[in-house]
Amino acid sequence: MARDIDRDCLLAFRLRAAHLHERLPPGHLAEAAHAGLQDSVPRSGLLSLYARVRDTQPSSWEDRSLVQIWGPRGAVYIVPARDVAVFTLGRLPRDRESQRQLKVVADATARAVDEGSDVTAAVTAALPEGRAVSLVRQAATVGTLRLRWDTRRTEIFAARRPRASADRMRVELARRFVRQYGPVTPDQFAWWAGVSGEDAKLTWSSLAEELVGVTVAGGQTRFAHADDEQAVRSAEPVEGIRLLPVDDTYTKLDRDLLVPPDRRAEVFPRPGKGAPAYWPGALLVDGSIVGTWDRQLRRVTLRPWHRLAPQTRAAIEAEAEAMPVPPLSRPMRVRWA
Question: 66 in a domain, yes or no?
Answer: no
Average pLDDT on 200-217 reads 95
The residue segments making up the domain with residue 132 are 93-142
In a domain, 225, yes or no: no
**What is the domain count for the chain?**
1
pLDDT one-digit tens code per residue, 10-31: 999 999 999 999 999 999 999 9
Q: Each residue of 40-59: b (16+ CB within 10 Å) or e?
A: bbbbbbbbbbbbbbeebbee
pLDDT tens column, 107-153: 988 888 887 777 777 777 776 565 665 688 899 999 999 999 988 88
% of the chain surpassing 70 pLDDT:
96
Q: Is residue 321 part of a domain?
A: no
State how far Cα 164 lies from the chain centre.
Answer: 23
pLDDT digits (tens, 9 = 90+) for 170-180: 999 999 999 99
Can you give the pTM of this predicted structure?
0.94
